[in-house]
């Protein structure tokens, strides 16, 4: 639907405002840019990080934006003054992911130093260091109920944490390759994880394995016989899950059945190398109808639903949200 350009490097992270008015992206060019959702126009550029901005999170309870970077810092930006009001120091290496607790004033960040750190948002104190992974922490999820923190690591494990005690409740070792993506369901007590071997769905609170999510033909894993890294996974309220790969593929899945009903490849911008097609981050807007992808060709791409889609026009299976909603109701 639209290509938004302005960053000078790979776009690595994205987050939306609670009112769906603007969204924010972070890039290898060390900047954070705020864009208008409706028009795609650039509103503001925030500078302050001295390395790649890998994670962004907008709080829906405070006028704050949290960013984490490979410069080992986590920053809190006041959106009223567009300036940094707090720094969270403690990570020993690059920080890859950050999430905010939905009820408490704490945030959790994870990175290359193989641990997740729990911070008091206001006092900047480090509450816990959640250690135990043997490689970088690639994704973190916070929820209001136990386990309140879930971390995924490049060592192939996922850990569910007891936030009060600061120790792991369970370690899930089903993946054989590094896990870079996690996504939680908004209403069910379930979450999914993505790795280059496959994607898996889990039942909380114990972390019980439910099912593998992959193509009969292999999905991101084993397409053309080559394993592709899954960098991001997003889920909307219609139970459409999208996974974005290092090879530029977007796979759309039905959350319930794990069926891939659409698969396509992103279009690299003219002047970019064919290899610059990776999708590093993605997010649905607050309505769940438009998908925004952050890519290696330095652009953000906006995708909209094809309401005319049928099985004839989309051989894999058309994305027909109305029919899917009707089926879900029955």
CB-count burial class (<10 Å; 0-12, 13-18, 19+) for 40: middle
Half-sphere exposure of 107 (CA within 13 A, CB side): 30
On the question of pLDDT at 47 being above 50, the answer is yes
Provide the CATH number for the domain formed by 2-329 in this structure: 2.130.10.10
Check residue 94 and give its pLDDT: 98
Q: What angle do CA 308, 289, 67 make, to 5 degrees?
A: 150
Q: Where do the domains of the chain lie?
A: 2-329
For strands 126-130 and 116-120, give the pairing: antiparallel
Query: How does residue 330 score in pLDDT terms, banded at 50, 70 and 90?
Result: very low
pLDDT of residue 308: 81
pLDDT band for 214, please (50, 70, 90 cuts). confident
pLDDT band at 315 (very low <50, low <70, confident <90, very high): very low
The secondary element (H helix, E strand) that includes residue 323 is helix 321-329
Q: Is 253 exposed, middle or buried (0-12, 13-18, 19+ CB in 10 A)?
A: buried
Provide the whole-model pTM. Answer: 0.90
Q: Is the pLDDT of residue 310 over 80?
A: no
Q: What is the pLDDT of residue 226?
A: 62
Q: Residues 79-103: pLDDT tens digits?
A: 999 999 999 999 999 999 999 999 9
Which of the two residues, 241 and 326, has the higher pLDDT score?
Answer: 241
pLDDT at residue 274, rounded to an integer = 76
Check if the beta carbon of residue 282 is closer than 8 Å to that of residue 266.
no
Q: What is the pLDDT of residue 218?
A: 47
Q: Decide: 249 and 223 in contact? Cβ < 8 Å.
A: yes
b/e per residue 7-17 (b: at least 16 CB within 10 A): beebbbbbbbb
For range 264-271, the mean pLDDT? 89
Residue 10 to residue 51: CA distance in whole angstroms: 12
C-alpha of 321 from chain center: 22
Q: What's the pLDDT tens digit per position in 98-148?
A: 999 999 999 999 999 999 999 999 999 999 999 999 999 999 999 999 999
- Mean pLDDT across the stretch 46-56? 97
Q: What pLDDT sits at residue 221?
A: 47
For residues 300-314, give the mean pLDDT.
Answer: 77
Contact 134, 115 (CB under 8 A): no
With CA atoms as reference, report the closest residue to 29 among 303, 302, 299: 299
Q: How confident is the model at residue 318 (pLDDT cuts 50, 70, 90)?
A: very low
> Does the structure show a pLDDT above 90 at 275?
no
pLDDT at 220: 56
């Amino acid at each position: 639907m639209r290509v938004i350009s302005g960053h000078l490097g790979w776009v690595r992270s994205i987050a939306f405002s609670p009112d769906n008015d603007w969204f924010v992206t972070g890039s290898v060019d060390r900047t954070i840019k705020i864009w208008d959702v409706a028009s795609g126009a650039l509103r503001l550029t925030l500078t302050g990080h001295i390395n790649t901005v890998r994670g962004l999170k907008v709080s829906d309870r405070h006028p704050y934006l949290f960013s984490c970077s490979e410069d080992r810092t986590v920053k809190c930006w006041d959106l009223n003054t567009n300036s940094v009001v707090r720094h969270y120091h403690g990570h020993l290496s690059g920080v890859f992911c950050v999430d905010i607790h939905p009820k408490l004033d704490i945030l959790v960040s994870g990175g290359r130093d193989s641990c997740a750190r729990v911070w008091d948002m206001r006092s900047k104190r480090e509450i816990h260091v959640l250690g135990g992974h043997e490689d970088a922490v690639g994704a973190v999820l916070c929820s209001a109920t136990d386990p309140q923190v879930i971390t995924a690591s490049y060592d192939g494990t996922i850990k569910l944490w007891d936030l009060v005690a600061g120790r792991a409740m369970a370690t899930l070792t089903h993946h054989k390759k590094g896990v870079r993506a996690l996504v939680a369901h908004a209403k069910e007590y379930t979450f999914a994880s993505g790795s280059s071997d496959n994607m898996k769905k889990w039942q909380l609170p114990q972390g019980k394995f439910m099912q593998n999510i992959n193509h009969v033909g292999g999905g991101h894993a084993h397409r053309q016989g080559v394993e592709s890294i899954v960098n991001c996974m997003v889920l909307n309220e219609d139970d459409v899950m999208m996974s974005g790969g290092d090879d530029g593929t977007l796979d759309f899945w039905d959350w319930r059945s794990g069926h891939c009903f659409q698969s396509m490849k992103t279009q690299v911008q003219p002047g970019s190398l064919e290899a610059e097609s990776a999708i590093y981050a993605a997010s649905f807007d607050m309505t769940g109808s438009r998908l925004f992808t952050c890519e290696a060709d330095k652009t953000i791409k906006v995708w909209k639903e094809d309401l005319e889609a049928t099985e004839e026009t989309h051989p894999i299976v058309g994305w027909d949200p109305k029919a899917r909603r009707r089926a879900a109701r029955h």
